[in-house]
Structure formats: C-alpha cells, structure tokens
Structure 1
Amino acid sequence: MTTLRESIRHLKNDLIYRYYHYRISKSNYPDQVFMKKEPYKVLFILSHMRSGSSLLTHILISNPAIKGYGESHIQYESEADLKSLMYKIYVHNQEFTNLKDLGKLRMNHTYLLDKLLHDKKLLNKNLLKKNNFYFIFLIREPQRSLMSMLDHKPHWTQEDAVTYYTQRLLSLSEYAQLINDKQRSFLLNYEQLINDTEPVFDSLQNFLKTRESFSENYQVLNTTGKRHIGDFKENIRSGRIIRKPRPLNFSISPNLLEKGIKSYNDCYEILHQYCQIINHS
C-alpha cells in the first residue's frame, strides 16, 4: 500500500511539474507564461536583514494578486532570470495534498514577488528601469536592527553588523535614485508597518492597485519559518502581526550606533524624496 501511495504521489508531482514547465517554457517572453493574457509585474522588496521583510512578505503574498514565498536567492542579471523566479515560486515551494490544492495551478497573479536583502543579488542595475518592475523599500531603525542581526548571526561582531547595515542603506539609496519613479517605488519602515497598519495597508493597495485589501492576518506556508527563506523565529509562524518585540540581550557601542543612526537618517531622507510614502488622509 505504501509503495502504491508513493507511486501515485510521484506521478502527481511529475504531472504538476510538467504542467508548470510547459506553461513557463512555452512563452519566449521572460515576464509571461503560456495561456496568460497579461505579462507579470515583478515586485521586489528592497531591504536589509532583520527589517521585518518576512512579515511584509507574508502580508503581501496573502493577497490573491501577489505570488511569492520569501527570499529566492536568485542573482538577477537580466529579465531572463524571471523564469527562474517563476519555477521557484510555482514549482518548488507549493504543496499539493488534496483536491482543493488544485486551485494553486492557476497562474493568474498580477505580481511575482521576491525580496532582495544583499547587494550581490541585483547584478544588473538596469533592471531598476524596467516599467514592469515595482519596488517596496523597507528599512528599520538601527538599534533594533543591529541587535537582531547579532542574534541572527552569532559569529558576527558589532562592526560586522554595522558595516553590512550602513553599506546596504547606501545601496538602497542608490537604487531609489536610479529608479527615479514614484509610480514604481514605495517607502515603508518597520515602525509604520507595526504601529500605523491601516494607513500602510491602504497606501499599499493604492500603490499596487490590487482589488483586495491587505490584512494583519496572513497565510502560513510550508516555507514559513524556514532558514535561508526568511525569518525562522517563532513569531512569524503565528499568522498575524505580533507587536510585542522579542527580548534581545545585546548592546551596541555608542560610536557604532551613532554611525548607524546617521546612515538610517541619510537613507530615509533620500528614499522619502524618491518614493511614494504613507498616505494618512
């Protein structure tokens, strides 16, 4: 019986793979799949580690217009790499366990989502100019970010964390200036996501033009909480925004913290100039 069950499972998985492979490979256009009228839009979360990007990812992909799962680790050299993103999103990070899951075979989403937390992921900065690429810049104040990095990477020194943080904020500032299009760029910080949730959701819906709104409750996936995909701490598995921060027993030296604060303020000022911001009206 076990052998028969395994054979059926392998057959099912093979058929699903063949279906996706056919639709993805049949189209010669990097942002399209066969039998879908409209090309995909690409939605990148441009951020840094320990910024709340996993929480934002789950909130976004719980909207039926957006498909993704977390950090793909694809290095983007050209639009052709979107095919790799499609395979990862549709083929490798979905579970099909019952007939209800067949609804996942639909590929009618508006956006394909990935999050980029490191400079080495966007190898071709000309992609920032593509009209079908949209960007949400997410940043977080330095003290909590740096403490969380030290908790996440115990082999890092304070200097390692500050060096990564300041360099990444510089890169985000550069990206925003290269995009130079408020219709495709949106600025958000972690504190707004947690404490100003409804205006954030309304502004995101307006920015992305989604039919359905966003919610504090999100879908927990089979990839939720897995290392190398996103946050693997317990809170992310709750399926909702948790506002009480985890206790972190780390300290940052005043000189390094001051450097982080300056980088954050400089970055925020530039992003505020080049991106759409939260609408409180």
Structure 2
Amino acid sequence: MEDSQYVLIIGHMRSYSSLLAHILGSHPMVSGYVELQLDYAKTSDLIRLKRRAMALAGKAPYYLDKLVSGWHSASREVVANRRVKTIFLVRRPRSTLASIQKLASYEDVPWYSDPAEVASHYLRRLEVIRKLAGWAAPNGFCFIRAEEFVERPDPCLRTVQAFLGLKEPFSLDYKTGELTGKPGHGDPSVLIRSGRIQKPSALAEPHIELDPDLLRQCEEAYRMTCLHVESLLTSQTLD
C-alpha cells in the first residue's frame, strides 16, 4: 500500500520558493529540492514525484516538488488528498515584478522583459493560489509570506515543522545538488548556491520602473490573496 507523503510548495516565480525547497529538502525526512516540471492531474501522478525525487535525493517519508511557473498544475483531487501537504508562498508585487524582469539576464525568455506579461503572470498565479487554497482547506495547509520567511526564517520554519509533524527542526544551512541553480528547476542566480539564507540586503533587487496602474492592480491582488488565504486558515483554527 502506498503510504508516502508529499509536500507541494505552490507560489509564483521569484517568491523564494527555491530557497524554501532547498531548506526543506535538506531535512532528513524530506526528499526533493527543485521544481520537477511535473503536472498533478490525478493522485497517481504523485508516484512520478516520488520516483523523480528519489532519483535526485534518495528515499524519505516526504517527497517534495514546487509549482510556481504556471506551466504545471495540480488538480483538486491531488491538493485535497490527505497525503499531500500544501505550502502556499507569496511575495509582495514590487520586488517580485522587478526580480522576474531581472531573470532576463539569466535566461533568454522574451516575456521576462515585458512588464505587462510579468504582471499578468503574477496575477494569474495569485488567482491559482486562492483557488487551490480553497481546495486544500479541508485537510489544512501552510501559508508563508516570502518577506517574513527571509527576514525571520526561524518562526516560519517552526510553523512548517509543526505542519509536517517533524521532530527535528530545519537548519538555516542547506545542501545544494546537481540541479541547484539550473534554469528550469528554480532560481538560476548564484545566491541559491550559497547554502544559507542570505540577509535581505543581499537579496535586494535593482530599481525598475513599473507602470503605476499595473502595480496597483498587483498590490490589490496580493492584498486580496493574503486576506482570502488567511481567512481560510482562521476557519481551520476555529473548526
């Protein structure tokens, strides 16, 4: 009988999901540390996650993947499965949009340089997060604001530790692997290869001019998403 458990980090590009995945994947109870480029339409698709994670990082009680790009998705059937632990991760729009545009210096992807397309990605991903949080709510989920994770990682990681029911805490130092920093599998910058959370000042993005209307739209979507997801968490606590 299949008794493995799974961790899905669901967010958007440049939400520090690679950092979170590496920290979680360095725990002895978790296998996997990068985006595996898989779709999860059915519960049986989780077997592919297990096989891919095992090939990269070995066997463990939990197998991890992250969905942030928008090219891969998870269905209600998967997100609501009792063996799937979902962690939602969001970052404020101004720094996110600037960081995505900066990706153009690492990867030859034309839309990274188009502010309207970048904002569209961000808005679509927030919509997905709101929807999937509703699907995951009956079994519970974890919600992290990216800035809080980077600036005050210890309380965030304690929350994840409790959510996953792990006895051993997470370390701020993490292991890197053969796919660390590889385009298509997460953060391609040199910072992810450092093996430790960097201070926010070291992670600051360059100033990039953003259309005020687009930025306001993204800020409202961010606010609405946080309120919605946190209200679902409050309902779980009351239940």
After TM superposition, is the score higher than 0.5?
yes
TM-score calculated relative to the size of structure 1: 0.76
Match of 2:61 in 1: 110
Q: 1:60 aligns with which of 13, 24, 32?
A: 24
Report if aligned partners of 1:65, 1:111 keep a CA contact under 8 Å in 2. yes
Partner SS state of residue 275, structure 1: helix
For 1:128 and 1:247, locate their aligned partners in 2 and report how far apart those are by CA, in whole Å: 32
1:265 paired residue number = 223
Unaligned runs of 5+ in 1: 1-28, 33-38, 95-103, 277-281
The C-alpha deviation readout for 1:36-72, integer Å capped at 9, x for no partner, is: xxx1111100100000000000110111111112111
Once the two structures are TM-superposed, the CA of residue 140 in structure 1 deviates from its matched residue by 0.1
2:129 counterpart of 1:148: no
Q: What is the match of residue 209 of structure 1?
A: 165
Q: Give the alignment's TM-score, normalised by structure 2.
A: 0.89
User: Moved runs in structure 1, 4+ residues, more than 6 A?
Assistant: none
Does the 8 A contact of 1:185 with 1:274 survive in 2? no
- Cα 1:169–1:234 change in 2 (3 A) is same
Which 10-residue stretch deviates more, 43-52 or 212-221? 212-221
Q: How far, CA to CA, are the matches of 1:242 and 1:146 in structure 2? A: 20
Q: CA offset at residue 126 of structure 1? A: 2.0
Larger C-alpha radius of gyration, 1 or 2?
Answer: 1
Q: 1:216-231 maps to which residues of 2 (within 5 A)?
A: 216-231=172-187
- Displacement after TM superposition at 1:221 (Å): 1.2
- Equivalent of 2:46, from 55, 58, 82? 82
Match 1:170 to one of 103, 117, 127: 127
- CA–CA distance in structure 1, aligned partners of residues 224 and 217 of structure 2: 11
Q: Which residue of 2 aligns with 1:239?
A: 195
Would you say the 8 A contact 1:76–1:124 is kept in 2? Answer: yes
| Cα contact 2:98–2:205 (8 A) shared by 1 | no
Contact 1:220–1:237 (Cα < 8 Å) also in 2: yes
36, 39, 42: which one pairs with 2:6? 42
Alpha carbon RMSD of aligned pairs, Å? 1.6
Output one character per residue of 1:225-276: Cα deviation in whole Å (capped at 9) or x when no partner: 1111110101000000011224424221111111110010000001111237
Q: Deviations over 1:163-182 (max 9, x none)?
A: 1101110110011112223x
Does the 8 Å contact 2:101/2:115 carry over to 1? yes
**Contact preservation (8 Å) 2:24, 2:33:** no
Residues 174-213 of structure 1: matches in 2 within 5 Å? 174-181=131-138, 184-213=140-169
Q: Is the 8 A contact 2:41 2:77 kept in 1?
A: no
